[in-house]
Structure 1
Amino acid sequence: MIQKFFIFCSGADAHILASCSEGEKNKYAGIGATVFFTALMAFIAASYALYTVFDNPYSAIFFGFLWGLLIFNLDRFIVSTLKKRDHFGKELLQASPRILLAVIIAVVISKPLEMKIFEKEINQVLLEQKNTLTLANKDQIALQYQPSVNELNARIATLKNEVAEKERSTNALYDTYIAEAEGRQGTLLIGKGPVYKEKRDKHDASLAELQALRKTNAEKIAEAEAEIAMLNTEYQASVAESQPIIDGFDGLMARINALSELPWFPSFFIFLLFLAIETSPIIVKLLAPKGPYDLKQEEEESLVATWVTQKVNERNHILATDTLLNQKVYSEIAEEEAIYAYKKQKAEELMRLQADSFHELQVKNL
């Protein structure tokens, strides 16, 4: 039962193969098994690749199964249409497009399996790429808010400098009137005289201005800090909103690119393995000598070709004979006077009827 199934997978004619030896049957069963297991690997590879796209196991299995059937049909077609010739060069020329197709199929099958085999290494590369993208994303979003934040910080610094400058001038006035009272500066007289009172009034006025400035600037600084806090909140919200896009950066294309950043030799080795599996049925048919199955298949094709050629020649002879007979019959009829006179009489009657009908039509129109 298993042998019959694998023979079906090989695309061989089971009717012809039934009359061959067991060795011939086993050869084509082995070719069919290779075709079947290649399609099975294609199903697994496609299901995994599509799962990274759809994130749905049922859809991935369904489309992976369709892809496996497609690869099975292609491989079966490639093997079944490769026929043994009397010259190896002709066989190789016949197999060259099929080998090229097998190489393409091997690439398509091996790539998803490489991604599964090196999944941990690919995840590490993707993690590094995600971290880089996260930092770059934060920098890009910060460019939208940083100018406003810098402007607000500059305004706060200016307001604080105004207060600090006013404090320095007020402290200077304080030192001046204290020095006047102690007789160290100004009039050099100890005591609180008119000059002391004048300098004290200037200090008190400056102190009042300082207190008012502190209150006004404190309110302005609080408003600026509130704006900075709001901008920071918006910035964090923008970063949080865009982060899921970066976290989802693990699709099929991202994984293929991450795979390309890994050392090439292991991937190339896996590709060679699948290339060997995919081309093995073709190579077996090319290298194997012409067996009983090939001879019987060639005999059947020759019988069909001969039968078709005979039928075509027979129809051509019938057509040629029929044409000659018709020419002879009609040429003899054309030479008989009675038939000529009869056809002339009928033509004259027809012309009279046409003339009478035309005359009646003209009279009716008048």
Structure 2
Amino acid sequence: MLKQFFILCSGADNEILEGCSQGEQTKYAGIGATVFFTAVMAFIASAYALFTVFDSVYPALLFGLVWSLLIFNLDRFIVSTIRKRDKFGSEFLQATPRIILAIIIAIVISKPLEIKIFEKEINTVLLKEKNAMALENKKEVANYFKSDLDKNKAEIASLKSDISKKEKEVNTLYETYITEAEGTKGTLKLGKGPVFKEKIAKHNLASAQLDTIRKNNLEKIAEKEKTAAVLQADLDKKVTETQPIIDGFDGLMARINALNKLPSLPSFFIMLLFLAIETSPIIAKLLSPKGEYDFKLEDLETALKATLEQDKYQRNLLVKTSAMMHDKVYEDIAQDKSLYDLQRKKATELLELQATNFVEKQKSTL
């Protein structure tokens, strides 16, 4: 049963193959098995490739089945249509389009399995890229809010600086009137004289101004700090919103790019393996010697071709002979005097009727 199935996969004519030896049947069963398992590998590779794209099993399996059936039908068709000839070059020329297609298919379907084989290494590369992207994203978002944040910080610093300057001024005035009272500086007179009263008045005025500035600026600083908190919250929110996009940066194209950053030699050998698998049905047919089945098939094809050529020649000869006979018959008829007289009489009667009918129409118009 399994042997018959593989023979069916090979595309060989079962009626011809039944009359061949067991060795010949085994050869074509082997070719059919190669065609079948190539389709199985195509199913596995394409299904995994689509799974990495859609993240869903059912579409991946459906597309993988369609793809494997396409490859199976294509391989079966090409293997069955390659005819064993006396020269290997002509056979290879027949298989050249399929070999080119096999190279393309091998490159395409080997990538998904390479991604699976080197999954850990690819994840490491992707992790580094994601971290770099996250840092770059934070930098770009921070640059977007930088002008507003810097302006807000500068305004807060300016308000605090005004308070600090006024505090220094008040402290300086305080030291001035204290030293005046102690007689260590200023007039160098101990006690609270007119100069002392003048200096303490300046201090009290500056202290009152400090209280006013501190009150107003602290209110403004509180508002600016609220604005800064809002800006920082917006910045953090923007970073949080964009982070899932970076986290999801692990699709098929990203993994292929990550794979290309790994050493190329292992990927090259895997691609060669799939190339060998894809071309194996064609290579199996090309390398197989011309056997009993090929001779019988060639005999049937040449016999059919000879029959068709003979039928075509007979039909052409029949048309030519029939034309010659009809030419001779009509030539003999043209020389018959009685037939000529009858045709002349009928033509005369027809002309007379036409003339009479014309005269009647002319009279009716007068």
TM-score by length of 1: 0.95
Separation in 1 of the partners of 2:310 and 2:336? Answer: 40
Question: Following TM superposition, by how much is the alpha carbon of 1:285 offset from its aligned partner in structure 2, in angstroms?
Answer: 2.2
Q: Which residue of 2 aligns with 1:24?
A: 24
Alignment partners' CA distance in 2, 1:211 and 1:354: 135
Structure 1: 5+ residue stretches without partners: none
The AA in structure 2 aligned to 1:17 is: L
Q: How many residues are matched?
A: 366
Structure 2: how far apart are the matches of 1:134 and 1:10? 54
Equivalent residues in 2 for 1:216-255 (5 A)? 216-255=216-255
Q: Which moved more, 1:261-270 or 1:351-360?
A: 351-360
Cα deviations by residue, 1:126-171 (Å, 9 ceiling, x for unpaired): 2222212111122122221111101111111111111111111111
TM superposition shift of 1:360: 4.3
Provide Cα deviations, 1:157-188, integer angstroms capped at 9, x if missing partner. Answer: 11111111111111111111112111222222
Distance (Å, rounded) in 1 between the aligned partners of 2:3 and 2:138: 62
The amino acid that maps onto 1:325 is M
> How much does 1:313 deviate?
0.7
Aligned-partner Cα distance in 2 for 1:3–1:266? 36
Q: Deviations over 1:296-318 (max 9, x none)?
A: 11111111111111111111011
* Structure 2: runs of 5 or more not aligned: none
1:34-53, aligned counterparts within 5 Å?
34-53=34-53
CA-CA distance at 1:219 after TM superposition: 1.2
Change (3 A) 1:240 1:336: same
Secondary structure of 2:184's partner?
A: coil
Matches of 1:161 and 1:361, distance apart in 2: 125
* d(CA) in 2 for partners of 1:247, 1:358: 99
Query: Is 1:110 aligned to 2:114, yes or no?
Result: no
1:88 alignment counterpart: 88
Post-superposition CA distance 1:29-81 (Å, at most 9, x none): 11111111111111111111111111111111111111111111111122112
Measure how far apart 1:120 and its partner are.
1.8
Letter in 2 for 1:42: A
> 1:262 is paired with a residue of what secondary structure?
coil
Match of 2:124 in 1: 124
Q: Supply the distance in 2 between the matched residues of 1:158 and 1:248 (Cα, whole angstroms).
A: 44
The one-letter amino acid of 2:166's match is K
In the alignment, what sits opposite 2:192?
A: 192
**Judging changes above 3 Å, is the alpha-carbon distance between structure 1 residues 198 and 347 closer, same or farther for their aligned structure 2 residues?**
farther
Query: What is the rounded CA distance, in whole Å, between the counterparts of 2:5 and 2:361 in structure 1?
Result: 83
What is the distance in 2 between the residues matched to 1:328 and 1:194? Answer: 161
Q: Distance in 1 between matches of 2:86 and 2:203?
A: 120
Aligned partner of 1:236: which letter?
A: D
Distance in 1 between residues matched to 2:71 and 2:36, nearest whole Å: 9
Listed one character per residue, the Cα deviations across residues 294-341 of structure 1 (whole Å, up to 9, x for unaligned) are: 111111111111111111111101110111111111122122232223
1: distance between equivalents of 2:361 and 2:56?
A: 84
2:314 alignment counterpart: 314
Work out the CA distance in 1 between the residues paired with 2:320 and 2:154.
108
- The alpha-carbon deviation at position 288 of structure 1 amounts to 2.5
Return structure 1 stretches of 4+ with deviation > 6 angstroms: none
Identity %: 58
Distance 2:237 2:361 in 1: 97
- Offset of residue 98 of structure 1: 2.2
On the 8 A contact 1:41/1:109 being kept in 2, the answer is no
The alignment's C-alpha RMSD in Å is: 1.6
Does structure 2 conserve the Cα–Cα contact (< 8 Å) formed by 1:163 and 1:214?
A: yes
> How far apart in 2 are the matches of 1:337 and 1:31?
78
Task: Decide whether the 8 Å contact of 1:170 with 1:203 is kept in 2.
Answer: yes
Q: What is the TM-score normalised by the length of structure 2? A: 0.95
Deviates more, 1:207-216 or 1:356-365: 356-365
SS in 1 for 2:28: helix
Change (3 A) 1:6 1:207: same
